[in-house]
Amino acid sequence: MPSIICSPNSYIQGRGELKKLCDYYSQTGKNGAYLIVDPFIEKTYHAELTGSFDAKKQAYVIAPFGGECSMMEINRHKAALGKNDVVFGIGGGKTLDAAKAVAYYANLPVIIVPTAASTDAPCSRLSVIYNDNHEFEKYLPLPRNPEMVVVDTEVIARAPVRFLLAGIGDGLATYYEAAACSQSNAVTLTGGHCTLGGMALAKLCRDTLFADGLKAKAACEAGVSTRALENVTEANIYLSGVGFETGGLACAHAVHNGLTVLKETHDLLHGEKVAFGTVTQLVLENAASDELEKFIRFQKACNLPTTLKDLHLEGATDEHLMEAARAACAEGDTMVNMPFDVAPEDVLAAMKAADRIAKAL
């Protein structure tokens, strides 16, 4: 089986890019743009989103995202596409995943415009599908990556700092999961094995986040774009996106998927649940104490979950936590990529031990 590297055709990051969407559209389409937009983003940035299309008299449709990346939502947009020949996804991770899925089923190119650096979803050839109860349903592998990813760092800087920090939580998992996949020679979501390039990007992602994460947090709190914020934005979106896809997923994302079955976690962001999943993975791997403590302390400084209390699961029974542990080990999930066998009982033990270790720090 080959090793495979894949990435978007173009990744564009800078200030003011939201005002240039028609320029990027014109490189790919001509009949009309179908813009799937988070309603808050549409209200906040309507002039920036539509200005370039209006100025060039280019047809477009604003299609509000319904809130969940479910098959019902995907089919709704697919039915409304009309003659439009390029799909845009503009907003957070679920908006982007829905846009990628719509484009896939309609056999159209997709341009992704993340408005927060909250996940590594923008660059990937993958959509994560949930049911209408907000529970993880399946991964939808896609045949190609987005045509283009356009990131406006002025918008990123104005987004809630919690989103940036959730992206750090998602991005930090990239290296540890890729390392596990490399050890196990796992098959990644590309359909191939982990690559040297994937591991290099994953390591650069981790090192960038440790170096600039807290400085980027300060910039986002001030609503300004600094070099540190630019670096962390690239790490959260591009390095993590290409790194996870080429390097592979393992325990951290499997634990995230397991936690989605517990309603107490439904108001947590993707990267927040992944963050606790990474701590769980390090405990499962029996990581060195200094490495584990460094990781937990950094996550605490980033306001990321490290304890069951942070997940709204303080006092949860073992039976309740076991629901998440079993789901994390479900057939077809990425726990199988760990370099050793992992049973639900192992996941439960690691979650409880991670909670105690983090409480002591």
pLDDT band of 280, cuts 50, 70, 90: very high
* Percent of residues, the chain, with pLDDT higher than 90: 89
Q: Is the pLDDT of residue 158 over 90?
A: yes
Q: Is the pLDDT of residue 195 over 90?
A: no
pLDDT band of 147, cuts 50, 70, 90: very high
pLDDT band of 135, cuts 50, 70, 90: confident
pLDDT for 121: 85
> Known catalytic residues?
170, 253, 256, 270
Where do the domains of the chain lie? 10-158, 161-360
- Distance, in Å, from the CA atom of 82 to the CA atom of 78, rounded to the nearest integer, reads 9
- Bigger pLDDT: 120 or 251? 251
Which range is least confidently modeled, 38-52, 60-74, 133-147? 133-147
Judged by DSSP in three states, 226 sits in coil
Tell me which H or E stretch contains 33: strand 33-37
pLDDT band of 116, cuts 50, 70, 90: very high
Contact call for residues 185 and 193 (beta carbons, < 8 A):
yes
Q: Is the pLDDT of residue 157 over 80?
A: yes
Nearby residues of 119 by Cβ (< 8 Å), 6 or more positions away: 92, 93, 166, 167, 170, 236, 270, 271
pLDDT for 47: 96
Name the residue among 184, 325, 350 with its Cα closest to residue 255: 325
Quickly list H helices, the chain. Answer: 21-25, 39-44, 46-55, 71-80, 93-106, 153-158, 161-184, 196-222, 227-234, 240-247, 251-259, 270-284, 289-301, 318-328, 344-360
Q: What is the dihedral of CA 116, 112, 193, 348, to 10 degrees?
A: 40
Tokens at 319, concatenated: 């039976």
Half-sphere exposure of 327 (CA within 13 A, CB side): 20
Q: Which long-range contacts (CB under 8 A, 24 or more apart) does 180-184 make?
A: 180/248, 180/250, 180/251, 180/281, 180/285, 180/337, 180/338, 180/339, 181/247, 181/248, 181/249, 181/250, 181/337, 182/247, 182/248, 183/339, 184/337, 184/338, 184/339
Q: Which fold has domain 161-360?
A: Dehydroquinate synthase-like, alpha domain (1.20.1090)
Which range is least confidently modeled, 127-136, 159-168, 270-279, 308-317? 127-136
Task: Give residue-wise pLDDT tens across range 231-272.
Answer: 999 999 999 999 998 899 999 999 999 999 999 999 999 999
Average pLDDT over the chain, rounded to whole? 96
Beta bridge partners of 127: 140
* Percent of residues, the chain, with pLDDT higher than 70: 100
- Distance, in Å, from the CA atom of 216 to the CA atom of 233, rounded to the nearest integer, reads 9
Region 76-88: mean pLDDT is 97
The CATH classification number of 10-158 equals: 3.40.50.1970
pLDDT for 26: 96
pLDDT band of 139, cuts 50, 70, 90: confident
- Distance, in Å, from the CA atom of 101 to the CA atom of 22, rounded to the nearest integer, reads 22
Judged by DSSP in three states, 110 sits in strand
- Distance, in Å, from the CA atom of 100 to the CA atom of 89, rounded to the nearest integer, reads 7
Amino acid letter for position 55: A
Q: Is the pLDDT of residue 164 over 90?
A: yes
Quickly list H helices, 186-343. Answer: 196-222, 227-234, 240-247, 251-259, 270-284, 289-301, 318-328
Burial class (CB in 10 A: 0-12, 13-18, 19+), 77: buried
- Bigger pLDDT: 161 or 191? 161
- Distance, in Å, from the CA atom of 41 to the CA atom of 357, rounded to the nearest integer, reads 39
pLDDT band of 73, cuts 50, 70, 90: very high
pLDDT for 102: 98
pLDDT band of 133, cuts 50, 70, 90: confident
pLDDT for 189: 76
Cβ neighbours around 44 below 10 Å, total: 14
- Bigger pLDDT: 226 or 246? 226
